[in-house]
Chain A
């Protein structure tokens, strides 16, 4: 009798309570611990950077020489004061304020360099993946050539030759770290290109640019986001390393890498001077990486059931 009816009722019911794809995605996002932690830290640092002029207790460049090297408030020292929660550096500048302003530099350089490298790498990768053949060979050759040049060394040499500034650092990094974009976009495009809907679009006579824009790009976006986070983190670390070696952001700018470099001579006596900016740098990069891993996990096709 009604067994089949009951079954079809059950199916209908299941359909009715099945959440929409958007709700499903939201649920996955909110249940992904790494994504939430990463996103949370990043939001805090972003707020620090955006609100730096408002929330900084002092001018980050203001040197108060009779207030040098005040330790952070959790230290047991008579010099400790809540006027400088994270203390002051060797020139009497408020460390908390410098940390806030430093977040701006890290995020700005990381984002801008990622954008430049993203445009270069994605263009190369998508073209190679879509057209294959000669184009692919040439792009592959360019990638190999780029990979064989040591990034840190070339960046340092170039910056030293043309003189260092924020813009120079952004451009040098952006022009150097597009390789992963190219490699990943190339293989992602190759995969998508083999799918039937692309063949269908070709059969319908869509123009190449239209196919690239409306068929290929939307389907490689999740890869693009993941690489973008990796490269932004990479750029931030490289900027810090460059600044640490004295060839990145120049004093008196409050770059976190530069703060570590300036405190290097004092680190055996005042270890917190390198611990604070180092931890900030670590947390920022960690947050971006967690976010990238999270996006990959949440949007990975094998998780779409």
Chain B
């Protein structure tokens, strides 16, 4: 197993709102190794973006972060001052956002925005930073890179901007990169290119990557390990193969039925849907968060909190009162119908 770049243990985010305490992220734990891609999957509002912002310490000012352990390259991020955190952001750990159209400052040139992080973190000259920017722009597949430095964001298409965002995240050679739905806002034809590019670069630079997405198709292609998030909690984690071949949690099972996976879903097969709505995360929820929508719900589900527990294979964990055998049997029954 590769050396761990990022370790997260018991991460919680709490936001006080008028009607009580909102807990969008609850006791999330995971780790990412060098050159490894962890995909965090879940529907919108499940807390996956807040998880990434919490790691970067970029949460909105009202939101409070708590974590047992939050370690990057062996340094604890918990208890770091804002100044120390700023030294790490964009340097050892950087982030790619969902909205390439609005994530670049309209007032400055691409070159200016590419070089500023490097000038801030590394002792390099402007010329050196520009050279690196050009080199990276070429890496992310932008032609006439040097002349692009003088262009403004509004002169570039969405796909190009996202390539620029990726280059920008790589400027300081980070060990860890967090991509928060990097392809959601792009045309379908460009989505695949950008993902392919990300996977390639991650491999080349040997970075750890967290890929946040709601698109299971994306996950199947690039993720090493997958964490399925529902209503603020990880409900199932495992390798990509484990999650796709033997999903154990009823939510994961439902999620996989909703989406056709290339090569796995038969042509013409019926796609499922999960009835019900996500529970409110204000205050404490007793028991399983998915109980309200789960087809197999019974008394034990809401009796007490359910913790993550091992499934059949090593490294595969899920959060359900059912035994793995029973859960998988349920799925097969469902599929047979």
B283 at the interface (CB under 8 A from A): no
User: Smallest Cβ distance from B230 to chain A, in angstroms?
Assistant: 16
Q: Are B298 and A7 in contact (CB under 8 A)?
A: no
B292 at the interface (CB under 8 A from A): yes
What is the interface of chain B mostly: helix, strand, loop, or mixed?
loop
Interface positions, chain B 275-315, Cβ under 8 Å from A, are 276, 279, 291-292, 297-299, 301-302
Interface positions, chain A 8-36, Cβ under 8 Å from B, are none
Question: Could you say which interface size class chain B belongs to?
Answer: under 10
User: Smallest Cβ distance from B84 to chain A, in angstroms?
Assistant: 36
Please, what's the 1-or-0 string for B250-269, where 1 marks a CB less than 8 Å from any CB in chain A?
00000000000000000000
Q: Which residues of A contact B299 (CB under 8 A)?
A: 1
Q: Are A1 and B292 in contact (CB under 8 A)?
A: no
What is the interface of chain A mostly: helix, strand, loop, or mixed?
helix
- Complex Cα distance A3/B279, Å? 12
Q: Are B292 and A4 in contact (CB under 8 A)?
A: yes
Q: Which residues of B contact A3 (CB under 8 A)?
A: 291-292, 297, 301-302
Q: Which residues of B contact A7 (CB under 8 A)?
A: 279, 292
Closest to B277 in A: A7
Q: Which residues of B contact A1 (CB under 8 A)?
A: 297-299
- Complex Cα distance A1/B299, Å? 6
User: Smallest Cβ distance from B242 to chain A, in angstroms?
Assistant: 29
User: Smallest Cβ distance from A5 to chain B, in angstroms?
Assistant: 10
- Complex Cα distance A267/B276, Å? 74
- Complex Cα distance A4/B293, Å? 8
Interface positions, chain B 97-132, Cβ under 8 Å from A, are none
Q: Which residues of A contact B301 (CB under 8 A)?
A: 3
User: Smallest Cβ distance from A302 to chain B, in angstroms?
Assistant: 15
- Complex Cα distance A4/B301, Å? 12
Q: Which residues of A contact B292 (CB under 8 A)?
A: 3-4, 7
Please, what's the 1-or-0 string for A200-235, where 1 marks a CB less than 8 Å from any CB in chain B?
000000000000000000000000000000000000
Interface centre among A1, A3, A7 (most CB of B within 10 A): A3
Q: Which residues of A contact B298 (CB under 8 A)?
A: 1
- Complex Cα distance A1/B294, Å? 11
Interface positions, chain B 166-190, Cβ under 8 Å from A, are none
- Complex Cα distance A4/B298, Å? 11
Closest to B297 in A: A3
- Complex Cα distance A1/B279, Å? 17
- Complex Cα distance A1/B297, Å? 7
User: Smallest Cβ distance from B35 to chain A, in angstroms?
Assistant: 43
- Complex Cα distance A1/B302, Å? 10
- Complex Cα distance A7/B277, Å? 11
Closest to A4 in B: B292
User: Smallest Cβ distance from A10 to chain B, in angstroms?
Assistant: 10
- Complex Cα distance A3/B295, Å? 12
- Complex Cα distance A209/B297, Å? 58
- Complex Cα distance A7/B292, Å? 8
User: Smallest Cβ distance from A8 to chain B, in angstroms?
Assistant: 10
Closest to B287 in A: A3
- Complex Cα distance A243/B297, Å? 79
User: Smallest Cβ distance from B271 to chain A, in angstroms?
Assistant: 23
User: Smallest Cβ distance from A27 to chain B, in angstroms?
Assistant: 13
Q: Which residues of B contact A4 (CB under 8 A)?
A: 276, 292, 297
Closest to B275 in A: A4
- Complex Cα distance A7/B297, Å? 14
- Complex Cα distance A3/B292, Å? 6
10 tightest A-B contacts by CB?
A: A3-B291, A7-B292, A3-B302, A3-B292, A4-B292, A3-B297, A1-B299, A1-B298, A3-B301, A1-B297
Interface residue ranges, B against A (CB under 8 Å): 276, 279, 291-292, 297-299, 301-302
Interface residue ranges, A against B (CB under 8 Å): 1, 3-4, 7
Given A1-B298, A7-B279, list of 11 further CB < 8 A pairs? A1-B297, A1-B299, A3-B291, A3-B292, A3-B297, A3-B301, A3-B302, A4-B276, A4-B292, A4-B297, A7-B292
**Would you mind naming 13 contact pairs between A and B with Cβ atoms under 8 Å apart?**
A1-B297, A1-B298, A1-B299, A3-B291, A3-B292, A3-B297, A3-B301, A3-B302, A4-B276, A4-B292, A4-B297, A7-B279, A7-B292
